[in-house]
Structure 1
């Protein structure tokens, strides 16, 4: 069956009105009352809409892992004379227990790479077989974290994916003693 031009015209008209809908219907509007299509596009900034804490829940320095999927919190536990790293969620506010048994810190000392391992030491509340806390009592590691130019980086595997993050140490805190004489804060 062949359709002629006279048959197509009414069919096309019906199709146009069906697809276009009634133009007098109310358009959805945004908060400003402008039609949604006239609103500016949403911002693409990853950091928009959420705040970053300046330190972790244990008052340690934060390390971004991935595209802020996780964070590491580096804590110098002076009471235990140990370095502790806590794995935190993307907001850097809650501990996340992972199935890794260790994490690694890579540093450059005197132009040579060195590697240190922190072992899992589950924190209270971590589920069985997982840990949100990793610990080392290696004094050399703790000294390297405070030295200029060592470029410490943390490496940890979470859910089968390797994450790396640069460890930076804030020296803008009072009353913090690193336990070695070459790094005292003195007033002149």
Structure 2
């Protein structure tokens, strides 16, 4: 008799916890909701999704950003009417990263002919000895082609023994009062 009583109680408990009928594990029923659940109201639309590119759209010097690798690093390209300067930045595109390269290269097409420009290391005052986060070249021809989409400019640099290459896409829609 005790075994029958125990089996009846066990079966009853199983029915309370698992429910009855042919329900799937994914379905939500009123038996699964408790009286303590409250209704949630929102005062507006749901929040926007997070941007996976959580870095600025321009560099700290208001230049064009170039992604290097899988956003391991960035380069910032700025220029005036006489020279081009490239800064090597971290993955957030906010902090300078001094590297031990003596130069970096910008490759582009001019009238269908490939051209190559070497920008020499020009260390910032805060860069440690033997390293540079800034690279420059005074070359009017490079300046004349760097913003031309048809020239398809690409930057190549080696950082910590790993070669990186990135396309330079100039944002023609921004205007921050800086020289082009």
Which position in structure 2 is the counterpart of 1:72? 75
Aligned ranges for residues 83-94 of structure 1 at < 5 Å? 83-94=84-95
Equivalent in 58, 62, 76 of residue 61 of structure 2: 58
Which has more radius of gyration?
2
Counterpart in the other structure of 2:169: 168
Name the SS of the counterpart of 1:149 in structure 2: helix
Gaps of 5+ in 1: 1-46, 179-188
Match of 2:101? 100
Q: Which has the higher contact order (CA 8 A, sep 6+)?
A: 2
3-state DSSP of counterpart to 1:171: coil
User: What CA deviation, in whole Å up to 9, does each residue of 1:6-42 have, x standing for no partner?
Assistant: xxxxxxxxxxxxxxxxxxxxxxxxxxxxxxxxxxxxx
The question of whether the paired residues in 1 share the 8 Å contact of 2:80 and 2:143 is answered with no
- Aligned partner of 2:138 in structure 1 is 137
Q: 1:176 to 1:59 in 2, by over 3 A?
A: closer
CA drift of 1:177 comes to: 5.2
Q: Compute the RMSD of aligned alpha carbons.
A: 1.6
Deviations 1:43-91 (A, max 9, x none): xxxx74x61201001110000000000000001145xx32110000001
Offset at 1:110?
1.0
Post-superposition CA distance 1:136-163 (Å, at most 9, x none): 1111001111223100000000011100
